[in-house]
Amino acid sequence: MGYRGPIPKPSAIARAEGNPGKRRLNDCEPQPRATTPRCPDHLDAEAKKEWKRLVPVLRRMKVLTEADGMTLANLCQAWSTLMKAQRKLTEMGILYKTPHGHIQQSPLFSMVNQCIDTVTKLSREFGLTPAARSRIVAQTETEPEDELWALLHSPVEPLHPSQPGPKPQ
């Protein structure tokens, strides 16, 4: 039996969104290294081209880790399949005539739609759609190690001359 309920968001994304549900976040979530995964050999030429286009984009967005290779490969291969099916559909047309003379929708039409859905879902995983990006607030700096570190490195507000200073103990 599978998991119940919606798939939870990664804690980093929930924090970036301000934790709108105010649910307890997983502090023990695995943190893969932020390195570029190797492009798999099984990808076709169109998918490898998409891989080379997306990797710099995802690195600039700071969302690519060593654990993302399979998902990125699936996205690139789905894109490649989409492009091939769309080219063939454009060439053959949306409708065709069966040997019995009936007019039917091309099977390529549903293949293109399935690939579009797959590409869109996988793009959301990386924050590559406008809606997915709008839900994330990018961090400009790394988060402090702990509260003491944050306190020690926070700016100190100068006391106003009319306000009394701290009292010595």
pLDDT tens across 134-169, in order?
776 655 555 545 666 566 666 666 566 665 555 555
pLDDT tens across 3-14, in order?
677 766 667 667
CB-side neighbour CA atoms (13 Å) of 88: 14
> What is the rounded average pLDDT of the residues 52-57?
96
pLDDT tens across 100-109, in order?
999 999 999 9
Residue 118 pLDDT grade (very low, low, confident, very high; cuts 50, 70, 90): very high
DSSP letter at 154? S
pTM: 0.69
49-61: b (≥16 Cβ within 10 Å) or e? ebbeebbeebeee
Residue 80 pLDDT grade (very low, low, confident, very high; cuts 50, 70, 90): very high
